[in-house]
Each structure stands twice: as structure tokens, then as C-alpha cells.
Amino acid sequence: MRSRRACAVIAGVVGLVLFGAGAPAWAGPGDTNTTFTLTSGTLAISVPGSANLGSFATGSTLVSGSLGGITVDDTRGALVAQWSASVASTDFTTGTATANETVTKTNVAYTTGVGSSTGTGTFVPVGAASLAVSGVAGTWTGVGNNSTSWNPTVAMTLLGSQVAGTYSGTVTHSVL
Amino acid sequence: MRWRAKTLMAWVAVAMLGGFVAPHAAAAQSASNNVGIRLLDAPVNRADDPRARVYIVDQLDPGASIHRRIEVANATSDRLTVQLYAAAAQVEQGEFKPLDGHTANDLSGWTTVTPSSVDLAPNTKTIATVDVAVPPDATGGERYAAVWAELPPTQSHGVTSVNRVGLRMYLSIGGEAEPASDFAVNDLRAGRDSAGHQLVTAAVTNTGGRAVDVAGQLSLARTGLNAGPFSSTGAVTLAPTQQATMSIPVRPQVSRGPWNATLTATSGNLSHTASGRLLFIGAPHNAVPGDYGWLLWLLLAVPAALIIVGGILVVLQRRSRIPAASGGVSAR
């Protein structure tokens, strides 16, 4: 009898100690370093697609083409699900990047097109007539998980004196 | 016998084609080709704040620091190296605007993401940490930044495409008590956008001490009719004292009204309502379902015009016949 009681007491004490060690230190109102673990999904962006802006004959004033598709998958399951996709461009240059070998980002226009979405909410395509500063490609507002794909086009306004060549530049999509 | 064999062969060919196509279609649907980021830790004292579950939202004294885990997931079928870093963001014109590239500000400078680069096998994820150490001499106020997971670039025909996905950071520095969050929404107006579509706008003002992300839902009602809810275009992000206009497109369009409008605006677990009486005036975009005034006019006016013109023509014709009958030559 005694040994059983002793075992029970020991078990109880051990249990208390383990519980005390394992439980999170209970936070006071100002303590921001006590956290709990979230189990939601991610906000994800697709691997960049392949762009093809085509080629232009010297003397033409505009060249445009597709940047390749982009998909945003939001599985955070948020009560107020929101994200915004912005886009930025560098200048596009060829050769030694002199004035006539450059299409400045001011002359780069971005058209989002119509997105295709799943989920409860709305995708609003925005786009930018000029990427002199970064613009908004589109925004989502809704409830719960959602996914939107769009295939943007970029149009470059060319100089009358634009030189022939393969132009290089970088377009960055940022989603948060 | 010949046609039966041919028919049989045709069906076999169709079955084989179907068999070939179907698994590929299924594979395409099930694979998501993306890289994602998520917050793993939220402060216990913000357990009931929905924003603190998706963004790093906190308040810190100068000299204090926080440690948050994030998870980066490679949901593609390729091995990828993902760059992780913090960069500047600002809140202006109703938007949370990340700055380009690795542009830095106070908060991004105080933030370290470890590791700075992760090499992920297909369909694997890993945990990284975000440490924010606020210097002891930091001035008070709100700071904004973003923690980015940047994918390897794709290069095609001279265009380098970079995609990155991020976590917003809203940090308030200093103060003994955390400033309260609040906002006001008012001045509901009915209007039309540049393409003529119906639009309702409202003024949203941040009246508190922390940034807010305000999204709205609009309901319209009149006797026997309800329309909506209509969602605002994105959320309006405002730093303290900022104001911006929230737009709620009304699609599909409704009749001109007047409508009793109720707008419920929400940021995290804060919610406010604005109401008003709205009338949509101005030129409709194409036909407005339910508002046939202009169509009725057209249906009456066109036949009336035809009758009038027809009548004039008949009268003119009769007048021209009378002189011909008295002095003309009749056909033989």
C-alpha cells in the first residue's frame, strides 16, 4: 500500500515537473517573445515564365509581347485574405547602353490582362502605363484560400533612333 | 466484317488516345509550380488579431529584439535556391508598397534573416528565422519592411524575370503602452469609374497609432430589393493619420436607386460601418438592367418617326399625282 501511494506521489510530482517544464511560460501582457505556432498555408508565387517580347524592325515605334504566365497561390486561409502584386522593371539595353541603345523603364508599359481566379473574392488587375516607378500588377481581396493566374504583356515605346540588337533587362514581380 | 474491324480499330485508337491524354491532364492539375512563404510564430498576446497571423506585427521598445520563425516551401519539381532577405517598404496612397530590390530602411537594417539562402529539393520546405534587434537609440513610431523569398530568375529572349513572395512587417517602436489601432470610414458616395461602371467610394482615415489594412464590404437595399455584398478593390493600407479613398465597384450594375447603402470596413479585428443614401446618376455603361427608360423612349420614338416620315412621303406622292392625272398621257 505504502509503495503504491509513494509511486503515485512520485508520478504526480514527476508529472508536475514535466508539465511545468513543457508548458510555455505564461506571458504577461507586454511580453512579445512568447509565441504560439501557426498552422496556416503559404502565400506562394510561381516560378517565372518565359518572356518573349518579339523583335522590331528599325523605325517601328512599339514592340510588345508576353512576359509569361504568373500564378499566386494563397493558402493562408485568412478571414480577410489580401495580397498585392507589384511589378518593377529596369531599363532595357543592348550593346554599350548609350541613349539609342536603351529603352528606359519609363517607356515600358505593363498590361495585366484579365486574371483567372479561384476562391471567394476579387482579383483587380491594375497595370501601369509606365514603369518609371514600380506599379501594381493586381490586388486580391476576399476570404479564405484563393489562387489567381495572369499572363501580362509588356509594351515598349521605341525611339525613332532605336538601334537594332537584343535588348536585356529585368522585370520583377513582388507579391505580399 | 471489314467495317466491323475498322470500327473496332477506331474505338481502340480512341481509347488509347484517351488513356494517353487523361493521366497527363491529371498530373498538370495536381502539380503546383510555386515557392511559398509563411509565418510560423505569432505572439501569444496577439492571438486574436487576424493580421498577426499573416504579417509580422509587433511593438518593441528601443533596445529590444524579437525572434520569429518562417517557413519557405518549394512546391516545384526542381531543386531551387531561394534567396531570403529583408528590404524596405512604405505605406502611402492607401497601399503597402515594397521598395525595389534590396532597398533598405531602418527596420530592414535591424532585421536579419537566417539563412540568407536556402537550397531546397523538390517538394520540400525549410524553416528560417527572422531576428529584429532594435537599437537603443531608435526613435519611436511605426516602421514597415518586408521579408522576401526570391526565386531564381528565368532568362528568355533577353528578359530576366524575377519573382519574389514576401511577408509584411508592421513594427511599432517605443512607448510604454502600445498605441491603439483605429480608423474611421465615412463620406459614402455613388459615382462611376472612367469606363462608366458604377462605383461607390468612401473616405478612410487612420485615427489610431498603428497601421491598418482596411477592406470593405458594401450592401445596398431598397424596398423589396437587396444587392451585394460588393467587395472593395484591395485593402487600403494607412499609416497613422493618413487618409485614402476606398473604391467598391458595383458589378453587375444595379438600377440607379436611391439605395440605402451600408459599408462594413474591417482591419484585423477592428470593424466600423458607414451608411448613406446613394443615387447613381450619369451615363450608364451600355444597357442598365432594370432601367429601361432610354429603351422605352427609343421604342416609341422610332416608330413614331417612321410614321411621320411615311405620312409625309404619302402626302407628297399624292400631290405629285394630281397634275399628272389631269394633263398627262395615259399608257396604252
* Nearest residue in chain A measured CA to CA from B232: A141
Q: Which residues of B touch A35 (CB under 8 A)?
A: 41-44, 68
For chain B, what is the radius of gyration of the CA atoms? Answer: 33
Q: Which domain holds residue B269?
A: 183-278
Q: Do A32 and B43 touch (CB under 8 A)?
A: yes
State chain A's mean pLDDT as an integer: 84
Same domain, B187 and B103: no
B60, pLDDT greater than 50: yes
Which of B211, B92, B75 is closest to B149 using CA atoms?
A: B75
Question: Into how many domains does chain A fold?
Answer: 1
Asked if the C-beta of A49 comes within 8 angstroms of chain B's C-beta atoms, the answer is yes
CATH code for the domain of B135: 2.60.40.10
Q: Do B38 and A43 touch (CB under 8 A)?
A: yes
- Cβ atoms of B183 and B212 within 8 Å: the answer is yes
Residue-by-residue DSSP string for B235-291: PEEE-TT-EEEEEEE-SS------EEEEEEEEETTEEEEEEEEE---S--SS--TT-
Query: Does a structural domain hold residue A135?
Result: yes
Same domain, B215 and B108: no
The rounded distance, in Å, linking the Cα atoms of B265 and B200 is: 13
**Residue B147: what pLDDT?**
98
* Nearest residue in chain A measured CA to CA from B213: A82
Would you place residue B219 in the very low, low, confident or very high pLDDT band (cuts 50, 70, 90)? very high
Query: Does a structural domain hold residue B325?
Result: no
Query: Does a structural domain hold residue A133?
Result: yes
The bridge status of strand B159-173 relative to strand B56-60 is parallel
Query: Does a structural domain hold residue B301?
Result: no
Q: Do A167 and B163 touch (CB under 8 A)?
A: no
Per-residue pLDDT reduced to its tens digit, B145-202: 999 999 999 999 889 999 999 999 999 998 777 888 999 999 999 999 888 899 999 9
Per-residue pLDDT reduced to its tens digit, A71-122: 999 999 887 789 999 999 999 999 999 999 999 999 999 999 999 999 998 8
State chain B's mean pLDDT as an integer: 85
Query: Does a structural domain hold residue A27?
Result: no
Same domain, B128 and B44: yes
Query: B residues 253-312 near A, CB within 8 Å?
Result: 266-268
For residue A55, give the DSSP letter.
-
Place of cell 471567394: A120
Query: Does a structural domain hold residue B102?
Result: yes
The rounded distance, in Å, linking the Cα atoms of B76 and B35 is: 7
Same domain, B154 and B233: no
A21, pLDDT greater than 80: no
Same domain, B94 and B214: no
A151, pLDDT greater than 90: yes
A38, A68, A84 ranked by CB distance to B161: nearest: A68
Query: Does a structural domain hold residue B331?
Result: no
Which residues, in sequence order, are CB contacts of B264 under 8 Å at separation 6+?
B216, B217, B218, B219, B271, B272, B273
Single out the residue in B233, B257, B278 at which a domain terminates: B278
Same domain, B43 and B70: yes
User: Taking CA B209 as the corner, what is the angle to CA B263 and CA B41, rounded to the nearest 5 degrees?
Assistant: 90
Would you place residue A123 in the very low, low, confident or very high pLDDT band (cuts 50, 70, 90)? very high
**Residue B15: what pLDDT?**
47
**Residue B40: what pLDDT?**
93
For B299, other C-beta atoms within 10 Å of its C-beta total 11
Query: Does a structural domain hold residue A137?
Result: yes
Single out the residue in B147, B173, B199 at which a domain terminates: B173
Q: Which residue has the higher pLDDT, B300 or B195?
A: B195
Q: Which of A2-11, B54-63, B146-155, B301-310 has the lowest mean pLDDT?
A: A2-11
Would you place residue A3 in the very low, low, confident or very high pLDDT band (cuts 50, 70, 90)? low
For B287, other C-beta atoms within 10 Å of its C-beta total 11
**Residue B177: what pLDDT?**
75
Q: Residue B127 is placed in which grid cell? A: 524553416
**Residue B174: what pLDDT?**
85
Same domain, B169 and B188: no
The fraction of chain B above a pLDDT of 70, given in percent, is 82
**Which pairs with CB-CB distance under 8 Å and at least 24 residues apart come from B276-281?**
B276/B188, B276/B189, B278/B188, B278/B189, B278/B190, B278/B200, B278/B220, B279/B190, B280/B190, B280/B191, B280/B192, B280/B198, B280/B250, B280/B253, B280/B254, B280/B255, B280/B256, B281/B190, B281/B256
Q: Which of B21-30, B70-79, B246-255, B286-295 has the lowest mean pLDDT?
A: B21-30
Which of B173, B105, B168 is closest to B134 using CA atoms?
A: B173
**Residue B293: what pLDDT?**
59
Same domain, B140 and B14: yes
Q: Which of A129-138, B28-37, B145-154, B241-250 has the lowest mean pLDDT?
A: B28-37
**Residue B228: what pLDDT?**
87
Query: Does a structural domain hold residue B69?
Result: yes
Q: Residue B93 is placed in which grid cell? A: 496612397
Asked if the C-beta of B231 comes within 8 angstroms of chain A's C-beta atoms, the answer is yes
Place of cell 400631290: B319
Question: Into how many domains does chain B fold?
Answer: 2
The rounded distance, in Å, linking the Cα atoms of B4 and B26 is: 33
Per-residue pLDDT reduced to its tens digit, B90-105: 999 999 999 999 999 9
Q: Which residues of B touch A70 (CB under 8 A)?
A: 163
The fraction of chain A above a pLDDT of 70, given in percent, is 81
* Nearest residue in chain A measured CA to CA from B77: A47
Single out the residue in B139, B173, B207 at which a domain terminates: B173
B24, pLDDT greater than 60: no
Phi, psi of A52 (to 5 degrees): -150, 100
The rounded distance, in Å, linking the Cα atoms of B132 and B113 is: 9
Q: Do A43 and B67 touch (CB under 8 A)?
A: no
